[in-house]
A and B are shown apart, each in its own frame.
Chain A
Amino acid sequence: SQQGEEDPQALSIQEGENATMNCSYKTSINNLQWYRQNSGRGLVHLILIRSNEREKHSGRLRVTLDTSKKSSSLLITASRAADTASYFCATDAGRGGSEKLVFGKGMKLTVNP
């Protein structure tokens, strides 16, 4: 079953605005990852945050993790039309260092020029 659930399921914003996506998960994790998928393409890794980290930055991306609430957020600042894509959070199974990633259902972001 799905571990992570993204919220909202769809978001439409104007270029230059910030976009925030949330992910909730159910069980303990080793790390949480975010991926982007452009239409008709494979997923591309964006950022990984470990369970002992609270915040991480990569360019215009900012990810936070709250393990007490089992939630994460992805913030894209100063959005561009090229950011239009689906975004997925993914978690590993946690205990024992499993090498399986479980993905959420994804969230569609549309950035209007």
Chain B
Amino acid sequence: DAGITQSPRHKVTETGTPVTLRCHQTENHRYMYWYRQDPGHGLRLIHYSYGVKDTDKGEVSDGYSVSRSKTEDFLLTLESATSSQTSVYFCATTSGGAIGTGELFFGEGSRLTVL
């Protein structure tokens, strides 16, 4: 299995508090992603990174920011958590494909509840 670790795995927080989720990989993959998974919506891309300090927005990026200061770490921050951000968050990585996107490797998920 690819070495992708997400922390924390579970978190309960209150509306308005900042939250940071961490994704750590040991695969030296260039690309890293944050998705959220909600019933009825499947997985939706929040932000992704194509290298150290290189990030871009996905389809549901409002209210989220990311940082990648090292190849192995990709942080997702909710500056001021809202109840609509209650979700399961997945980190994924890939080294990239020869053509298009290669196989993604996923972490086990971080379940966030915002009260």
Please give the residue numbers on chain A whose beta carbons come within 8 Å of chain B beta carbons, in ascending order: 1-2, 29-31, 33, 35, 40-45, 48, 50, 88, 90, 92, 94, 97-106
Cβ contacts B1-32/A at 8 Å (1 or 0 each): 00010000000000000000000000000010
Q: Which residue of B lies closest to A4 (CB)?
A: B42
7 closest A-B pairs (Cβ-Cβ)?
A: A30-B100, A42-B106, A105-B42, A92-B101, A103-B43, A92-B100, A45-B103
Highest count of chain B CB atoms <10 Å: which of A29, A41, A99: A99
Q: Which of the four size classes fits the interface of chain B?
A: 20 to 34
Closest approach, in angstroms, between the C-beta of B5 and any C-beta of chain A? 11
Residues of chain B within 8 A of A29, CB atoms compared: 100
CB pair A106 B59 closer than 8 Å = no
Beyond A42-B106, A99-B96, 19 additional contacts (C-beta under 8 Å) are: A30-B97, A33-B103, A42-B107, A43-B90, A48-B102, A48-B103, A50-B100, A88-B42, A92-B101, A94-B100, A97-B99, A97-B100, A99-B94, A99-B101, A100-B58, A102-B45, A102-B59, A103-B42, A106-B43
Interface residues of B in 80-107 (CB under 8 A from A): 90, 92, 94, 96-97, 99-107
Given A43-B90, A103-B35, A104-B42, A31–B101 Cβ distance below 8 Å? yes
Closest approach, in angstroms, between the C-beta of A106 and any C-beta of chain B? 5
Residues of chain A within 8 A of B70, CB atoms compared: none
Q: How far is the CA of A97 from the CA of B31 in the complex (A)?
A: 13
Residues of chain B within 8 A of A100, CB atoms compared: 33, 45, 48, 58, 101
Given A97-B99, A99-B50, A103-B35, A43–B42 Cβ distance below 8 Å? no
Given A1-B59, A31-B101, A94-B100, A106–B42 Cβ distance below 8 Å? yes
20 A-B pairs whose Cβ atoms sit less than 8 Å apart in the complex: A1-B59, A29-B100, A30-B99, A33-B103, A33-B104, A40-B109, A42-B106, A43-B92, A43-B104, A45-B105, A50-B99, A90-B104, A92-B101, A98-B100, A99-B94, A99-B96, A100-B33, A100-B101, A101-B45, A106-B43
